[in-house]
Structure 1
Amino acid sequence: MAVIFVAWRSGADQPGYAAAAAAMDTLAAQQPGFCGMDAARGNDGFGITVSYWADEASAVAWRAHPDHAKVREAGGGRWYVGYDLHVAQVTRSYGWSREEGERI
């Protein structure tokens, strides 16, 4: 499963956002069924984070995690102007890279 979080940052409380984001990245990686994450953010505050889960139950359990719920609530009130969330089933996935560390 892919949980696609598309968000527009408010620019408020940059240190608080950075700390919360790092904590959530670490916590998500410790959850059963977590398969990985990709993220990108522009200088304008627009960003996309995709987390990958073994199944829908794992993704739902992550959403229900109490620490994640607290940070989501703070995000809506402080760090984000708006967001969209999409959940999709991944039917195929592959990649290619010249060598480790060469992606720009």
Structure 2
Amino acid sequence: MTDRTGQIAVIFVSTRTDSDTQGYAAAAEAMDHLAAQQPGYRGVDSARGADGIGITVSWWADEASALAWRAHPDHAAIRERGRAEWYSAYEVAVAEVGRSYRWQADRDFEQNASICTPLP
């Protein structure tokens, strides 16, 4: 995990419809690829449950980068298609990360001990 302190997190919580799963998957892949090419992009984490509820967090260097991604014409077009076809609801929250840390079990450690590594 990367230290996310100071980054902007755009948190997108959505509920998917059953409509056009192939089109949705293709659009999501295209948006992931396009976002990764944008200035200030720092990564994305995403998960979706069997109930259709998903959480995607895109990470940005600063507010200007996050806003530029929101305004990107291809992203805006896909957002409109999502409203019309792929989502029954969604919510977006934008936050600046004040601190960041991680924990990881070290499975290779001889005694199978756990490691806690706080990030600076």
By the TM > 0.5 criterion, same fold? yes
| Structure 1 residue 98, shift from structure 2 partner | 3.8
The answer on 1:55 being equivalent to 2:59 is no
Percent of aligned pairs with the same residue? 65
Q: Decide which structure has greater strand share.
A: 2
* Greater Rg by CA: 2
Query: Which residue of structure 1 lines up, in the alignment, with residue 110 of structure 2?
Result: none
| Structure 1 residue 92, shift from structure 2 partner | 1.1
TM-score, L = length of structure 1: 0.91
Q: 2-side partners of 1:20 and 1:97: how far apart?
A: 33
TM-score, L = length of structure 2: 0.80
| Structure 1 residue 97, shift from structure 2 partner | 3.0
Q: 2-side partners of 1:7 and 1:73: how far apart?
A: 14
Q: Which of 9, 13, 26 is the aligned partner of 2:20?
A: 13
Q: Decide which structure has greater helix share.
A: 1
How many residues in Structure 1 have an aligned counterpart in Structure 2?
Answer: 100
Query: Which residue of structure 2 lines up, in the alignment, with residue 81 of structure 1?
Result: 88
RMSD value, Cα: 1.3
Query: Which residue of structure 1 lines up, in the alignment, with residue 5 of structure 2?
Result: none
The answer on 1:41 being equivalent to 2:63 is no
The SS at the match of 2:97 is: coil
Query: Which residue of structure 2 lines up, in the alignment, with residue 102 of structure 1?
Result: none
Query: Which residue of structure 1 lines up, in the alignment, with residue 35 of structure 2?
Result: 28
Tell which has more relative contact order, 1 or 2 (C-alpha 8 A, sep 6+).
Answer: 1
Structure 1 alignment gaps of length 5 or more: 100-104
1:33-56 C-alpha deviation (Å, 9 max, x unpaired): 011111110011000000010000
The SS at the match of 1:15 is: helix
Structure 2 alignment gaps of length 5 or more: 1-7, 107-120
Q: 1-side partners of 2:84 and 2:43: how far apart?
A: 27
The SS at the match of 1:95 is: strand
Query: Which residue of structure 2 lines up, in the alignment, with residue 3 of structure 1?
Result: 10
The SS at the match of 1:5 is: strand
